[in-house]
Every structure is written in C-alpha cells, then in structure tokens.
Chains A and B, each alone.
Chain A
Amino acid sequence: MKVLNILQSVTEALDVMLEKDQNVIVYGEDVGVEGGVFRATEGLQKKFGVERVFDSPLAESAIVGTAVGMAVSGLRPVVEMQFSGFAYPAFNQIISHASRMRNRSRGRFETPMVIRMPYGGGINALEHHSESMEATWAHIPGLKVVIPSTPYDTKGLLISAIESNDTVIFMEPKRIYRAIKQEVKEGYYTIPIGKAKVVTPGKDVTIIAYGAMIREVQKAMVLLAKDGINAELIDLRTIYPLDKETIVNSIKKTGRVVFVSEGPTSFGVGAEIMAVANEEAFLHLEAPPKRVSGYDIIVPLPKGEHHYMQSPEKIYYEVKKTVEY
C-alpha cells in the first residue's frame, strides 16, 4: 500500500500499464519532458523513453486523430487533453471516428484508446479552464465516460480504461487532484467501468454525484446529519454506461433522489438520472427528483465563479426541501 493523491494515482496507473503492455503509449502537449502541466506524467518519459512517452505538437485534433490511427493498428494510446476545455478541436475526431470506427467497420477495427482530460471548476482559472462538459461526451454513442473521485478508484479505473477495447473519455477532477490522499494498492488492479459505488448507505434520500462534487456532498451531509437527515451517497464513477441498477435500488429504498453535478443543468447527466428515476422507480418516489447542478451559463471567471459552483449550502438547501416535501 502507498498513500497517494489522485494525480499520483494517474501516474501510477500509467506506469503500471506502460510496464505491463508494450503497446501502451502516452503523449500530448507538454506530457513528455515536463510531465504535464499538472505533472500527471512526471517521470514516465525517463523510465519508458521518448518513443513511448512524448510531447506532441500543439494540436488536439491531430493528437486524437493520430491516436485513432495508432489504435486501429495495434497500439493502445493514452492521450492527454491539457484541459477538457481544449478538447473541442478534437471533437470531430472523437465523434466522427474514435466513437464509430468499430461500428463503421462492422467490428473489424477498434479504437482502444483513452483520452484523459482534467475537468471542472473551483481553481481560479482562466476562461475555458473550468468546464464540466461530461454530458456532451456521454451523449455520443460509442464512447465510455469515466470520472473518478478518489485516488484508489482513479488508479483502478484508469487501468480498466487502458485495457478497454473501446475509446474511453477519462475526466479527472483537477480541483481535488491533490486534495485527497488515500492508501492505494501497489501494482496492477482494476475497478470495473460501469459500476457505481454506494459511498455512504442511508435511508432518507439518495444523493447521486461524481468527481469533485463527492466531497461537496459529503460536506453537505454533515449539515444534513445535524438536522437528523440520513442520506445515501452514490458515486457514479462512470457516466456512460450508467449503472442504473445501483441508482434504482437506492431510490426504491429511500424514495427520494437529488442529483449533484458541476455541469450545466439542461440536457445534462442529471436529466438522464431523473428520467431513470421516473421510468424505473416512479411508484417509489415520495418527492420530485431534483437536480442541483450548474446554471445554463458559461462558467464565470474566478471572481464570479461562486455564482456557478455547487456549494455544500446549496446541496443542503435542496436536499432538505426534497426530504421535507
């Protein structure tokens, strides 16, 4: 066991897989010499050489497009988008090719690749550095979308993502990159993609979240506990494929559901959860399902970001209303 933060778990997972499988390669902007602007790939070039871990020119479309080519020809590229807000030049390659190659070639070709990207707000950043657009990726047929919230999960999920024969969008909650430390198993282990986790069992209300919002919900749960409200917290861990079973079982038990995320509300991940709640647990519901997520606005620059972010108070405010409904 080693005590690691989320960033170090990313490095560990890459290290383990570069060691285990010669076909794994890692590249992107500033990924090689510098080890990434967040240092997620630090030390890997030294250890595995410039042919397997390297700096690419500055071009997201090219990074993903070449990865598609590598993947169909036998490699397993793990590429980095420096910030999720800069993945959009690669959108065409992701939606037109990475997600459809298997389908288009009737299973003859596949694109086993991972597109890593730090996402989310709350770090006082410049424009385009704070978005949470996971719903956009999850909406694309053919992609898997994974978002860890703890160091342990990060390592196990990233290893699974690298081993997956599908293209995985791996979104890293940069706001808590260094904020959470945890004992992490050494060497190789996996956590299955597509399985949510019940973080805290409870009986009064189901709260569903993922990524950096888990910690905010946990803070809200302290406030709720003071009011005698016993919430069940579910960490989705994978946005697509969605673990409906865990969600529905929990809602059937508590009768209430609040969804918390950072992304804009309309047409977001929460809309999907609400639909699942209504379609599969309607008769168990004792209050309308509720979304606590971003307004449909552009994440303001740091001085205005508090107007956008989901705070423990806001979560508390909405959960309490739902419980008292």
Chain B
Amino acid sequence: MIEKYDPVNDEMFSILDNDGNVVNSQEMPELSDDHLLKAYKLMLFSRVADEMAVLYQRQGRMFTYPLNKGQEAIAAATGLSMRDDDWLVPAFRELGCYIAKGVTMSELYMYFMGYENGSLFKNAKNILPISVPIASQLLHATGIGYTLKLKKDDKVVVTFVGDGGTSEGDFHEALNFASVWKVPVVFIVQNNQYAISVPFKTQSASKSIAIKSVAYGIKGIQVDGNDYFAMKKVVEEAIDYSRSGNGPILIEAVTYRQGAHTTSDDPTKYRTKDEEDVWSCKDPLKRMKNYLITKGLWNDEEEEKIHKQFMKEIDSEFIKAENIKSYPAEDAFDYLYAEMPADLEEQKRYHLNFLKWKESRGVK
C-alpha cells in the first residue's frame, strides 16, 4: 500500500472519515474485535491520563507536563504494531506507545513530578528515556539500527519527532545516515501543526514532511494521524518493510495538538478557536468510537464505566508516585560514572555532612 502513496503526489492516506465511516475499504486492515477494543481502550486511557495530569498539575501536585490530547491514535497504533523487543526511541508525546511497551503511569508521573527514577521503565524492554533536546534522539535510533543490522538481529527501531523537530540538523543527519546505511528504522513525525507557537508554514516551506523522504532516497508516506486504522495499516507495513531489510522509512502522521504545548503554555495566544473547532471534528477517539458503536462493539454505558475505572486506576498510579517522599542525595551522585571519581566521592561526603549540619540547626 505504501507504494501507492507517493509523497510527491501530495496525497494523505486515510481510511475513516470524520464520522468514523470506512471510506477506503480496500485498505482496511483486518483486525480482531479484541484488538479494536484494546486499541480504543488504550487511546481512551491515554486521554484520561492526560486529563488527570493537567488536573494534578493545576493542583500543584505535578510540574510541567506535555499533553497528548488529539494525538492518541498515532501512539496507540504504533505501540500495538511493535514487537515487545523492538526498540522505541521516543521524543516526549507518545504516551500510548510507552504504555503498550509496559511503562507504567506511575513511572511517567514520577518523571513529570521531578524524579529521575521515572525514566527507569522497569518492565519495558528496549526503550530509551524521554529526550528533551528536540530531534537529537533520532540519531540514536539510527545508531541502534546499525547495531541491529550488524548483529543480524531482526528487531526494528521506531523513533518519534515533532514537525518542529524536522528543522533541526539532527533530523536530516539521522535520515541521511539511516538511508546510506540502510538500517531498520521507522521515523515517525507527529505533525501536530505547531512547535509551541510556531505553525508548520513558518517551520518549513515544504509541501509536506513526507516529501522530504524523496531527497534521502527512502520511502515516505503521509497518513491521517487521527485515523487509527490508517495509522495501524501504515505503521505495520512500515515495520515489516524495515524488518525485511529494506532500510528506513519516513511516516508523516498528520494530527493536531488539541491541548496546550505543555501545561505552562497558553495556545489562545497564537491560534484561533475556529481552527481548534475544525480539528476537534477530526478527533481520533470520536472517530474510532463511532466506528465501534456502529459495529455494535461499544456503547456509552460501557464507555462511562471504563472511563471511571481508568480514572481510579490512574489516580492510584499517581498516588503511588506521589507517596515517594524523599530524593536521597545518593541519587544525585551515583549514576554519573561507572566508577565514581574520588573528587565526586568527596563532594558527596561533604554534602551528606552539610545536610547533617543543616538538620542540626533545624533548617529544612
């Protein structure tokens, strides 16, 4: 299918219309009812976790948090297309993907509460921590791809970046190396139209991001990122393609960041209500839900029940993270080097003594 959508033709691959009707039935992936429900629940879970995060942040119980709202289909479809042992090299807006990989909400909340331990991802295999410096992580994906190729390992690497991130040199360098080396990396650009306040047209004069693949001599496709089925079909095919030794591939998932960039941002400063309304009609959850209801797999009662259940589950995950009260001094020192330099050992000792002195003076 990817063959058919040449990015030069400026077409976007989609399957569902805005109301959740299948309008491209020959491309509809075959998915079991179980899978459909699992996928929808994962999207719903991400949305609830997001809404609760904003609430916690407003209550002063968590620091800055980047919202996923509106982009849930991309992460869910990707997470559910990857093998457990495939590598994930994330940016910071792929909640459903982390969850599918086995990362817990309490870990993610811990991270955004300000604990490094939230990046440990204890039960997830082959996933790098969140990368804050934009686009830098893409090169790591290419490097991992090289390892896999050298070791004749059949895993693939899936990596993410935003539309803004495609302006960084690292994006171009990662794609260039990956294509020259022909390594198994699936690059997914979440084009949510904005990099903080900067709209895509100020970011790039390209017709699309997908078209940039042409210059690197690799395959690329633009897909409706708010359409679970289209995303699923494309990511699955892309992963197969890369796993079979065909090299990297670039997917532009067209979506919209419905919320703020992060909880410290106010989007009303740089975008209009009208624009937001247009995109809310394309909401990925709404479209999938309508599809499921029509198919007789879902209803509002069920939704309400699950929604409540998720809220409870997520809150208990949050409280688990919130109950961690201390940040031992050791945590600040112990992970920098394989063998701690004597100087640092001395600084750590000094710090522990200073803490004792402070405590003895009753200073908190």
Contact = CB atoms under 8 A, between A and B. Distances in A.
Given A57-B167, A58-B203, A317-B357, A303 B115 contact: yes
Interface of B: 63-64, 111, 113-116, 132-134, 136, 164-165, 167-170, 195-198, 202-204, 264-265, 269-270, 327, 329, 331-333, 336, 343-344, 347-348, 351, 354, 357-358, 361, 363
A301 B113 CA distance: 8
A304 to B, nearest CB: 4
A58 B134 contact: yes
B331 A304 contact: yes
A49 to B, nearest CB: 15
21 contacts: A29-B195, A30-B198, A57-B167, A57-B203, A58-B134, A59-B167, A59-B168, A89-B169, A124-B63, A126-B64, A265-B347, A295-B333, A295-B351, A296-B343, A297-B336, A297-B347, A301-B115, A304-B115, A304-B332, A307-B327, A308-B332
Contact of B354 (A88, A124, A126, A314): A314
Contacts of B132: 126-129
B133 A317 contact: no
Contacts of A55: 197-198, 202
Interface string A291-306: 0000111101111110
Nearest to A60: B168
B167 A300 contact: no
Contacts of B113: 302-303
Candidate in B264, B327, B357 with the most chain A CB atoms within 10 angstroms:
B327
A60 B195 CA distance: 14
Given A128-B132, A304-B114, A317-B354, A296 B344 contact: yes
Residue among B114, B134, B347, B354 with the highest chain A CB neighbour number at 10 A: B114
Interface in A38-89: 55, 57-62, 85-86, 88-89
A30 B354 contact: no
A37 B266 CA distance: 10
A274 interface: no
Nearest to B334: A297
A304 B202 CA distance: 38
Query: Which of the listed residues B113, B202, B332, B333 has the most CB atoms from chain A within 10 Å of its own CB?
Result: B332
A34 B269 contact: yes
Given A55-B202, A57-B164, A297-B344, 7 more contacts: A29-B198, A30-B195, A33-B198, A37-B264, A58-B134, A296-B347, A307-B351
Contacts of A307: 327, 329, 332, 351
Contacts of A29: 195-196, 198
Given A30-B196, A57-B167, A126-B63, A313 B361 contact: yes
A3 interface: no
Interface string A125-146: 1111100000000000000000
B336 A298 contact: yes
Contact of A302 (B63, B133, B331, B332): B63
Contacts of A303: 113-115, 327
Contact of B197 (A30, A300, A313): A30
A37 B197 CA distance: 9
B133 A295 contact: no
Interface in A268-308: 295-298, 300-305, 307-308
A96 interface: no
Nearest to A264: B347
Contacts of A308: 332
A34 B202 CA distance: 13
Contacts of B329: 307
Contacts of A85: 133
A297 B341 CA distance: 12
Nearest to A318: B354
Query: Nearest 3 pairs between A and B by C-beta?
Result: A302-B114, A57-B167, A34-B197
Contact of B167 (A33, A62, A88, A297): A62
Contacts of A129: 132
Nearest to B358: A313
B164 A301 contact: no
Contacts of A57: 164, 167, 198, 202-204
Nearest to B363: A313
A34 B264 CA distance: 13
B133 A89 contact: yes
B331 A300 contact: yes
